[in-house]
Chains A and B, each alone.
Chain A
Amino acid sequence: MSWVPEQPDRVWRSAEPKRRYQVVIVGGGGHGLATAYYLARNHGITDVAVLERGWLAGGNMARNTTIIRSNYLWEASAGIYEHALKLWESLEAELGYPILFSQRGVLNLAHSPQEVRDGMRRVQANLLAGVDAQWLDPMEVAEVCPIVNVSPQLRYPVLGATYQPRGGIAKHDYVAWGFARAASDLGVDIIEHCEVTGFDRRDGRVIGVRTTRGEIGAQTVALSAAGHTSVLADMVGLRVPLQSHALQALVSDLLLPVHPTVVMSNAVHVYVSQAHKGELVMGAGIDAHNSYSQRGAVHVIERQLAAAVELFPVFARAHVLRTWGGIVDVSPDASPIVGLTGIEGLMINCGWGTGGFKATPGIGWCYAHTIAHGQPHPLNAPFTLDRFTTGALVDEHGAAAVAH
């Protein structure tokens, strides 16, 4: 029987905006909510408002494919994602909310000699960084996930895979609601349908925001609005190097358990897991053009399903029930931008591309630290905005050869 947990009788408290707060977080997604929670929990800062222009956590938090892993290539990336994964491992108890965190393992398939080299490289880097990682040959891949087609006859045969057993999935909405309720319980104001339309500044310093629900003063304004962060930053003359694209995902009808883990493939481009209810949850490549529209083109879906059937022949007669789009905000080096902006009173968190969901507790923890101390947490210190000026990039798209 398909299973969803009993939902709690109480979620977050909807607040009316006050005239001013110590911290105003712009963006009520997973990151904004987690940041608010850790500001209150770790730093005792509860005079906090989270402003959301639509319904809470209705952007990328409601649209991602819920994959969690920390096996990124570079030390800086593995550092923050592994911190997140450790937090994920106790988050359900921490929040007192059933978030359906399931460590069912994540496979990243390799289909060419170069992908084998890249995978082996990433496994070695992960082991040195203290991230669990294994290299599996095709037979071992089939043991972990028997429905993957490991036939050498495949157009791009599976030559092996990296495997992170501690990776997995969680239910995105519940994570957001768990953070929202816990933050709300600690005194944070969660304000929906409140769009930021401008910033108030004095002597160059940001001292508050103008919103569709009035002006709200703040000692610190912390942006956390994914692709729209660059739109917001524009209002204070700050240029942020983000490109936003639609990334589509889809779900199938409900099926008896058939897929025990999470499989990702870049060459045969698809990633897929089976959620608790029984639906297959899938994604693939981004729509190439820049867009803030949460919809994409059908040829991307067609290609994604060709990849799915190629790798998982048993999926042939599963059905697509629903497709949708989220907006990935991609920085020039495919790593996030977190920290100070050079403008007093304004902090920034964006550029997570396809990694935002899995980072949620980790970035919440670190961004809260950054806001509380006015200085980056060591784990987000490498992800400054000025790295694009200094050249100290954390380039994950070339190196990891793994999107998402």
Chain B
Amino acid sequence: MSQPFRHPDRGRVDRTRPLTFRFGDRTMTGFAGDTLASALLANGVHEVARSVNLGRPRGIVTAGVEEPSAVVQIEAPFPEPMLTATTVEVYDGLVAHPLRGQGWLAPEPDSARYDAVWAHCEVLVVGAGAAGIAAAADAAASTGDRVILVDERPPRPSEVPAGVRLLTRTTVVGYYDDNFLVAVQRRTNHLGAAAPLEQARERLWRIRAGRVVLATGAHERLIPFPDNDRPGIMLAGAALAYLRDYGVLVGRRALVYTNNDTAYRVADELRGAGVDVVVADTRADAPAADLPGARLSGVLGDRRVTGVRVAGRQLDVDAVLVTGGFSPVLHLYSQAGGRLRYDDGLGALLPDGCRQRVEVVGAAAGVGLPRCGPPPMPEPSDADGRTFVDLQRDVTIAEVRRATGAGLRSVEHVKRYTTAGTAHDQGKTSGLLTSATVAAALGSSAAEVGVTTFRPPYVPVSFATLAGRDRDDLFDAARLTPIHDWHLARGAPFENVGQWKRAWYYPRDGEDMAAAVTRECRAARTGVAMMDASTLGKIDVQGPDAGEFLDRLYTNVMSTLAIGAVRYGVMCRLDGMVFDDGTVARLTADRFLVTTTTGNAAAVLDWMEEWLQTEWPHLRVWCTSVTEQWATVALVGPGARGVLARVAPDLAVDVESFPFMRWRDATVAGLPARVFRISFSGELAYEINVATWHGYALWQALMTAGADAGITPYGTETMHVLRAEKGYPIVGQDTDGTVTPDDLGLGWAIRKSTKDFVGRRSLSRPDTARSDRKHLVGLLPDDPTLLLVEGAHIVGHTPLGPPPVPYLGHVTSSYPSVALGRTFALALVTSGRQRIGERLYATVNGTLIPVEVTSHVLYDPEGARRDG
């Protein structure tokens, strides 16, 4: 017979919609509205899992998220591990499998979509039971505030108060500072394979609430007794829920084992549904009990309860329904910083004040809960090893007592020793039982022993849900320049530089990277070439104190800069080590344009703001990132002036009118532009800035204007080679946070005046001022075709000998150079400048390569090429 334990008319499942599912090797039916647990129980299936260590058969204990036992693996429509059968809604085609404590992950990628939304409200009510609905109605009626009511269950036919936004199938999982709460909404799980792919399967709600009302109810507790883990043993309240909500009888003949009065209501209702019920009450003074003052001393049956030994008698039963009292659900309250106090009457914790605007109502505040004290602890006996405190972790009373016997006193230590409370349920039904067991063993009280810390999330949340849309291409924003499409069309590979995509090189037919870079370098040194430099960080620094401010951040003085002039600048951290470099241009008396390295743009702006906001709030300076407002094209090479003259006929481009380290406003290719005469290659060069939306037009105009001069676009690799030939360091490549400006050969950029700047004091520390620090130098391998590996280390002797081998430094940059007609490298080497001309060795994986130390400036050391 199908669903033999389904009551003919109780429950709220939709009997017009039968559903077929498979559990293990059995195909069964349930109804729309069933959970996997209720559908299994309707089919008479209690055994749904094996225990993790002992391999004991395990059943269904609860009807909700607190389930400590019935953990299953979903296999279809998509594998998901370790879900509680009590929270999985049944759908057609569901395939689930019993687990033994460990689930498995699908090897194929999860194609479902996840997203996240923000919500703001004056009042957030968590839990749509009677207390929650009343609180929400109250809040909505009295003020007209935005009220959100969140409930973990599927929609119910109950009344939603007017003006209240109800989120169902939604569980608040975390309560953070400033009334910021995070909830997970399960949107399409219950549809199974029919779930529309374009709809987010789960949605993360980030809710900021003016005040929070927690109507989170209470979880029933077990009573420890021997073999209290057998399938067929469940919480009394769960049995009632299965009857009321799902029309399922959890057995035909049940023992209700209780220490409180709620058992009698359960017994009456089950009897009304046709179940034979015997009530055993641990209290002697229990007039309504069939068996007052009773102790449950044994359970018969292995894979399903067949009987019990209670009060000295043996009873044939197929279900044992336990209630050991109720624990208010205060996980969120505790996460919020709420204090808890132990209440002897309830045998549970109650809210005791919180720094956040939160109130607790209903059963979560202890309202309506039966007074019963802690669950009665069994006397030590041989059965302790079969008397479970934490079902999921297979932790018994004997195990907890062994922990205290070993000398442990703190419940935190007992948790770590026994693993109690560490499973997927995080001890929802077992935490207080563990504390009570510890207290009993130590002759202490549960109040004194306390409980372990409540941590988010309240229920397990899948990684994918928390990852949301931040996956694949959306994992991190890709920043593209306005000229990106041109690079793409030209077949350029891209290099990730921070979030930016930068064109790396532009291979022509049949060219590999080396050939392309050689060609690009040659064009820049002998003809004319151009590069998209739009990613360079740009910060507009304005205000009457802007010059003073920049003087404090840069090692050289910026306040003396003339309007129209540009200066190279270095910034140090407090420790005197190079942080960033770039140029500073004075636009007007109180306005500067600062450039930064591409990767450090945000860090430099943060650095400026940190100083302005925390140390120098009196300075009248305002900083604005304008990186994305400007497109920048570097026009480089001896032919650059001719090309610029052609596109900017009104601009005087001769050396006298437009000297090095100056900028000019101009019209370039008909576009309003600001042109800088600066160079990162040593060649005559102009950096032309136009509004971002004109960047593509500028690029095309320059390509056209330079066509007959053979203008050659080049990428970041060529830029790196050109600058390295000139000994220009790249912050982050040739520096690593341990390098001073002087180490890089930039001592000239440190002001001579006594005026302070960030890092100055550190530069005078004895170790920082040593003359034998590591210096940036050039290295020429003896074999001019041999390319050193970047990261290779430098030693002064051969053979290496056994470790530890002292070393002198490492290779920071290494390239073949068409200009030098050979390979070369830059390296940081101890006393490097004193070693010029010396023979050293580069070592990679134990091999030694002879090299000669040279100046770090290998190309055009006189600077003769600067003016073209």
Residues of A that sit less than 8 Å from B by CB: 1-2, 4, 7-14, 55-56, 58, 62, 75, 79, 111-114, 116-125, 127-130, 155-156, 173, 192, 252-256, 258, 268, 277-278, 295, 297-298, 301-303, 305-310, 313-324, 332-333, 387, 389-393, 395, 397-399, 401
Contacts and interface: CB of A to CB of B under 8 A. Distances in A.
B103 A256 contact: yes
A319 B577 contact: no
Nearest to B410: A55
B105 A314 contact: yes
A123 to B, nearest CB: 7
A302 B462 contact: no
Contacts of B471: 306, 309-310
B766 interface: yes
B467 A62 contact: no
Contacts of B736: 118, 395, 398-399, 401
B80 interface: yes
Nearest to A113: B495
Q: Which 5 A-B pairs have the closest CB atoms?
A: A398-B737, A120-B791, A130-B803, A391-B765, A319-B460
A128 B806 CA distance: 7
Interface stretch (B58-66, B660-668, B684-692, B841-849): B841-849
B304 to A, nearest CB: 23
Contact of A58 (B412, B497, B800): B412
12 contacts: A7-B406, A117-B733, A128-B804, A128-B807, A254-B103, A302-B467, A309-B463, A317-B463, A321-B457, A322-B457, A323-B457, A393-B767
Contacts of A254: 52, 82, 101-103, 423-424
A359 B81 CA distance: 35
A24 B789 CA distance: 50
Given A125-B810, A314-B106, A390-B767, A306 B475 contact: yes
A111 B628 CA distance: 25
Contact of A2 (B52, B109, B495, B575): B52
B463 A7 contact: no
A389 to B, nearest CB: 7
Contacts of B403: 7
B194 interface: no
B100 interface: yes
B52 A1 contact: yes
Contact of A277 (B116, B419, B792): B419
Nearest to B574: A332
Contact of A317 (B462, B767, B768): B462
Contacts of B407: 10-14
Q: Which of A111, A121, A309 has the most CB of B within 10 A?
A: A309
Given A2-B53, A302-B466, A114 B102 contact: no
Contact of B463 (A58, A116, A252, A297): A252
Contact of B467 (A10, A11, A308, A389): A308
A122 B790 CA distance: 11
A321 B421 CA distance: 11
A399 B204 contact: no
Q: Which of A2, A387, A397 has the most CB of B within 10 A?
A: A2
Contacts of A324: 453, 455
Interface in B794-852: 795, 800, 802-807, 810, 812, 843-846
Interface in B117-150: none
Contact of B419 (A4, A121, A258): A4
B419 A253 contact: no
B412 A156 contact: no
Contacts of B467: 302, 305-306, 308-310, 316
Contacts of A10: 406-407
A253 B424 contact: yes
Interface in B178-195: 180, 182
Interface string B471-485: 111011010000000
A320 B466 contact: yes
Contacts of A309: 463-464, 467, 471
A256 to B, nearest CB: 5
Given A2-B52, A55-B410, A332-B574, A319 B737 contact: no
B495 A55 contact: no
Given A310-B471, A322-B455, 15 more contacts: A11-B406, A124-B791, A124-B810, A128-B793, A155-B475, A278-B101, A297-B176, A298-B206, A302-B204, A302-B467, A308-B467, A317-B79, A317-B463, A323-B457, A391-B768
A272 B476 CA distance: 20
B765 A389 contact: yes
Nearest to B459: A319
B704 interface: no
Nearest to B54: A1
A49 to B, nearest CB: 17
B252 interface: no
Contacts of A1: 52-53, 55, 100-102
B745 interface: no
Interface string B766-783: 111100000000000000
B391 to A, nearest CB: 14
A74 B577 CA distance: 17
A58 B468 CA distance: 33
Contact of A56 (B116, B413, B768, B843): B413
Nearest to B793: A124
Contacts of A120: 789-792
A124 B463 contact: no
Contacts of B812: 117
B865 to A, nearest CB: 28
A8 B407 CA distance: 10
A118 B577 contact: no
Given A10-B406, A258-B105, A112 B496 contact: yes
Contacts of A313: 109-110
B741 interface: no
A293 B296 CA distance: 45
Given A55-B412, A114-B733, A308-B467, A315 B105 contact: yes
A316 B464 contact: yes
Contacts of B174: 298
B765 A390 contact: yes
Contacts of A398: 577, 735-738
Contacts of A55: 410, 412-413
Contact of B110 (A297, A316, A389): A316
Contacts of A7: 402-403, 406, 417-418
Given A56-B413, A398-B737, A320 B792 contact: no
A11 B100 CA distance: 30
B810 A121 contact: yes
A253 B408 CA distance: 26
Contact of A255 (B102, B182, B575): B102
A255 B81 CA distance: 8
Given A319-B462, A391-B766, A298 B456 contact: yes
A106 to B, nearest CB: 18
A269 to B, nearest CB: 10
Contact of A268 (B475, B478, B846): B475
Interface in B559-598: 574-577
A1 B54 CA distance: 10
Contacts of A12: 407
Contacts of A317: 78-81, 105-106, 110, 462-464
B732 interface: yes
Nearest to A398: B737
Nearest to A395: B738
B443 interface: no
Nearest to A294: B453
A130 B846 CA distance: 12
A155 B473 contact: yes
B380 interface: no
A14 B418 CA distance: 19
Contact of A8 (B81, B100, B406, B457): B406
A120 B788 CA distance: 12
Contacts of A389: 765
